[in-house]
A and B are shown apart, each in its own frame.
Chain A
């Protein structure tokens, strides 16, 4: 039995000064809640409780006085409700006054129209230090720390080795690099204009690295490549089974993931001649299997029921431990996972799509071999995973191919016959996932495929679509529709079995979102937006996805391609510590619904195999 989703306790925060009311999970800090909703509060440490600048006044509601509050405020101010926003946990609804800003914070638009206030974990300070003398006998380190008045930083021991030389060679003009309240470097001269981080979308198939300029919040360079683990199999299950068969495979796969990421990061730096040492932070969004393998954690339990991940929240590790040749003391943030099949990539995607902060009823659907679905309506967040199989990658399709030159990527049936769109306008050699969806949807629309997904008889075809009827043929092993003549004389066909493969895939996905809608007691027509995540979603025709029942039957304009949201989420985590906390808060806020656990799954799945009626 699937558990009823537990009630997520949410509280309303009213920012009186901004005339804005927001609803957030209880326990979130006022600072994070404000940041997530585009309300800037002064801060130089990025919400780590060290700069004591994020002063707000609680007008209604109670926030207990914290230890740091007593240092930041006079007793009278505490009585008036003044608190540091970054340690003020909102456990009840509050009305809050935010004083006008003393600095102008930068914001950046990332993800699905998300405004992110720039609060990177990495902060640089240029320091013009007084030279030591017989009178001023402070140590080198003390001399540096004394100049950083607004952040209480711990010191990474690695800083010390080169500190004396750096100070003296640069005439005591240096730049301190503080990451997450740790002093990780002291660099010669003023390097404050060079602060970078890398956002990595660690996909099973493709890996994308984006070098972000943390001073402006903009992407500086992007590089992508196939995951070098490819020879071990196309999907996560085959990678996991590789580790089960060969005791050396895990180490090898880990190495290959590291190599892939390292190469991309190097490329993203080389492009503009950026020194990799000026990259101080990394955020990695990968599915649970990719993340566990990259960390060298045995993935076997992920591949076998009951599908248990090693951990939900991964510890922050040194970037070098993930094979990244950036600053040696830079750390890497790994997105947490909700379960074996709703991983960090999906959490990053949900973050980028603002799934937890939109009152509309929305569905987030990431179509792949494994399809992840999130339902949100401002109150509830439900997630599930559906095994769609490889049809959308066209791997199990007779004339299927990846979306590359020569692939039929779009199909339309017009009055005068069949129209094909082929990638790079090449001679067609096969069909890719988006073309497959189009072909099936169009054939169903004109009636050459019946409601159950079966090709109609030749006699019926001659009546229904005389111009196309001769394309319907009997091949060895069943009926097929000829899409095109290939250059070698053989045809490119859509076979009856191909249609069935697509039906299996779409049924797995629609069963997933239908069960989530059922769980939330909402109707399909009430869905206000469907976000299609991932590269496949970008090429899919919304109209045809609706027609075959892959997504809910709503106006096509409400089915929106969201692009590489996992990568966007990783960028957000680089640009803002509060957003990073938001990813962790999502793990708490989302209820996972296991489909294979439901006794009605099979019945619903079988019902979903057919195409929806018009």
Chain B
């Protein structure tokens, strides 16, 4: 058995959401002396990317995405402490919540899965999050990105209220704000002053990575 066999098995088993097998292959890989980064970046993340692509086409649906995500998080639980030891940085920290007055969270949870699948550290604030909750989480976790979800046109105005509150708290600066949810559009996102919007979970991850790269490039240019 070669490391390539392990990577192939991890990729395939994550894609079909076989959590016990993913956990088992993760253990085997580590025993063989593979690094946690290798397992994460060369098997798990590409597999979740494929999950996202299939979801975009409608080949995969919510249940398939959830079980793949679950299989991956089982492996992540094992890998995370090891990654921390080796000092590998996460792709970025993402604070996520459904806005105040809204109780919908299935779509938001799918985005979380895809973000974790792409290597982000995700802090999920749950549903009905008032501005204060976003602000407290930003202060505590110092995320690069804050994501806000709203499923109702009646709760979308909370995006603006949250962004105003974040500005007032002096936390807007370099922070990337992304918004999403069934009724949200790019135009609406622009109007409330958000930095990014995506129509579905897979696109959200791509957009988050782009925004992060832009922000880092801008910061590097400043230095």
Which residues of A does B touch, CB under 8 Å?
Answer: 233, 237-238, 240-241, 244-245, 300, 303-305, 389, 452-454, 477-479, 495-497, 499-500, 503, 596, 602, 605-607, 609-610
Contact A305 B103 (CB under 8 A): yes
| Extra pairs beyond A241-B157, A497-B58 (5, CB < 8 Å) | A240-B154, A241-B152, A245-B157, A453-B61, A478-B57
B91: Cβ under 8 A from any A Cβ: no
- A454 cross-chain contacts in B, Cβ below 8 A: 58-61
With A305-B101, A305-B103, A305-B128 in contact, do A496 and B57 touch (Cβ < 8 Å)?
Answer: yes
Contact B66 A606 (CB under 8 A): yes
Contact A244 B61 (CB under 8 A): no
Interface of B, secondary structure class, is loop
With A305-B128, A596-B103 in contact, do A300 and B61 touch (Cβ < 8 Å)?
Answer: no
Contact B154 A500 (CB under 8 A): no
Contact A503 B155 (CB under 8 A): no
B63: Cβ under 8 A from any A Cβ: yes
Those of B55-114 within 8 Å (CB) of chain A:
56-64, 66, 100-106, 109
Contact B152 A303 (CB under 8 A): yes
Contact A303 B57 (CB under 8 A): no
B153: Cβ under 8 A from any A Cβ: yes
A241: contacting residue among B100, B109, B154, CB under 8 A: B154
Q: Which residue of B lies closest to A605 (CB)?
A: B106
Contact B63 A609 (CB under 8 A): yes
Query: Roughly how many angstroms separate A250 CA and B5 CA in the complex, as a whole number?
Result: 64
- B109 cross-chain contacts in A, Cβ below 8 A: 602
Contact A479 B62 (CB under 8 A): no
Query: Roughly how many angstroms separate A395 CA and B174 CA in the complex, as a whole number?
Result: 39
Query: Roughly how many angstroms separate A503 CA and B60 CA in the complex, as a whole number?
Result: 13
Query: Roughly how many angstroms separate A245 CA and B57 CA in the complex, as a whole number?
Result: 35
Query: Roughly how many angstroms separate A499 CA and B66 CA in the complex, as a whole number?
Result: 18
Total contacts A-B at CB 8 Å: 75
Most buried by A among B56, B58, B100, B106: B58
Give 1 or 0 for each of B38-70: 1 = CB within 8 Å of chain A CB: 000000000000000000111111111010000
Query: Roughly how many angstroms separate A602 CA and B59 CA in the complex, as a whole number?
Result: 21
What distance in Å separates the Cβ of A309 from its nearest Cβ neighbour in chain B? Answer: 14
A606: contacting residue among B56, B63, B154, CB under 8 A: B63
What distance in Å separates the Cβ of B123 from its nearest Cβ neighbour in chain A? Answer: 19
What distance in Å separates the Cβ of B157 from its nearest Cβ neighbour in chain A? Answer: 7
Subset of 25 A-B contacts with CB under 8 Å: A237-B152, A240-B154, A241-B156, A244-B157, A300-B154, A304-B100, A304-B152, A304-B155, A305-B102, A452-B63, A454-B59, A477-B56, A478-B56, A478-B57, A479-B58, A479-B59, A497-B58, A500-B58, A503-B61, A602-B105, A602-B106, A605-B106, A606-B106, A607-B63, A609-B63
Q: Which residue of B lies closest to A303 (CB)?
A: B154
Query: Roughly how many angstroms separate A500 CA and B65 CA in the complex, as a whole number?
Result: 13
- B104 cross-chain contacts in A, Cβ below 8 A: 596
Query: Roughly how many angstroms separate A305 CA and B105 CA in the complex, as a whole number?
Result: 13
- A240 cross-chain contacts in B, Cβ below 8 A: 153-154
Contact B59 A238 (CB under 8 A): no
Q: Which residue of B lies closest to A304 (CB)?
A: B101
Contact A478 B59 (CB under 8 A): yes
Query: Roughly how many angstroms separate A532 CA and B152 CA in the complex, as a whole number?
Result: 26
A610: contacting residue among B63, B105, B128, CB under 8 A: B63
Q: Which residue of A lies closest to B156 (CB)?
A: A241
- B155 cross-chain contacts in A, Cβ below 8 A: 303-305
Contact A499 B106 (CB under 8 A): no
What distance in Å separates the Cβ of A428 from its nearest Cβ neighbour in chain B? Answer: 23
B64: contacting residue among A452, A477, A503, CB under 8 A: A452
Q: Which residue of A lies closest to B182 (CB)?
A: A389
Q: Which residue of A lies closest to B66 (CB)?
A: A606
Query: Roughly how many angstroms separate A389 CA and B153 CA in the complex, as a whole number?
Result: 13
A609: contacting residue among B61, B100, B103, CB under 8 A: B61
- A496 cross-chain contacts in B, Cβ below 8 A: 57-59
- B64 cross-chain contacts in A, Cβ below 8 A: 452
- B60 cross-chain contacts in A, Cβ below 8 A: 454
What distance in Å separates the Cβ of B102 from its nearest Cβ neighbour in chain A? Answer: 6
- A453 cross-chain contacts in B, Cβ below 8 A: 61
Contact A500 B106 (CB under 8 A): no
The 7 closest A-B pairs by CB, nearest first: A303-B154, A496-B58, A304-B101, A241-B153, A478-B57, A596-B103, A478-B58
Contact B153 A238 (CB under 8 A): yes
Contact A495 B154 (CB under 8 A): no
Query: Roughly how many angstroms separate A607 CA and B62 CA in the complex, as a whole number?
Result: 10
Q: Which residue of B lies closest to A495 (CB)?
A: B58
Q: Which residue of B lies closest to A477 (CB)?
A: B57
Query: Roughly how many angstroms separate A609 CA and B64 CA in the complex, as a whole number?
Result: 11
Query: Roughly how many angstroms separate A389 CA and B104 CA in the complex, as a whole number?
Result: 13
- B152 cross-chain contacts in A, Cβ below 8 A: 237, 241, 303-304
Contact A244 B154 (CB under 8 A): yes
What distance in Å separates the Cβ of B54 from its nearest Cβ neighbour in chain A? Answer: 9
With A305-B102, A596-B103 in contact, do A609 and B62 touch (Cβ < 8 Å)?
Answer: yes
What distance in Å separates the Cβ of B91 from its nearest Cβ neighbour in chain A? Answer: 26
Query: Roughly how many angstroms separate A244 CA and B182 CA in the complex, as a whole number?
Result: 19
Query: Roughly how many angstroms separate A452 CA and B56 CA in the complex, as a whole number?
Result: 16
Q: Which residue of A lies closest to B57 (CB)?
A: A478
What distance in Å separates the Cβ of B106 from its nearest Cβ neighbour in chain A? Answer: 6
- B57 cross-chain contacts in A, Cβ below 8 A: 477-479, 496
- B103 cross-chain contacts in A, Cβ below 8 A: 305, 596
Give 1 or 0 for each of B103-131: 1 = CB within 8 Å of chain A CB: 11110010000000000000000001000
- A499 cross-chain contacts in B, Cβ below 8 A: 58
Query: Roughly how many angstroms separate A597 CA and B109 CA in the complex, as a whole number?
Result: 17
Q: Which residue of B lies closest to A501 (CB)?
A: B58
- A500 cross-chain contacts in B, Cβ below 8 A: 58, 61
Query: Roughly how many angstroms separate A477 CA and B60 CA in the complex, as a whole number?
Result: 13
What distance in Å separates the Cβ of A163 from its nearest Cβ neighbour in chain B? Answer: 50
B154: contacting residue among A237, A497, A503, A610, CB under 8 A: A237
- B58 cross-chain contacts in A, Cβ below 8 A: 454, 477-479, 495-497, 499-500
Query: Roughly how many angstroms separate A304 CA and B156 CA in the complex, as a whole number?
Result: 10
Q: Which residue of A lies closest to B153 (CB)?
A: A241
Query: Roughly how many angstroms separate A254 CA and B195 CA in the complex, as a whole number?
Result: 37
What distance in Å separates the Cβ of B18 from its nearest Cβ neighbour in chain A? Answer: 16
- A602 cross-chain contacts in B, Cβ below 8 A: 105-106, 109
- A495 cross-chain contacts in B, Cβ below 8 A: 58
What distance in Å separates the Cβ of B128 from its nearest Cβ neighbour in chain A? Answer: 6
Most buried by A among B102, B103, B106, B157: B103
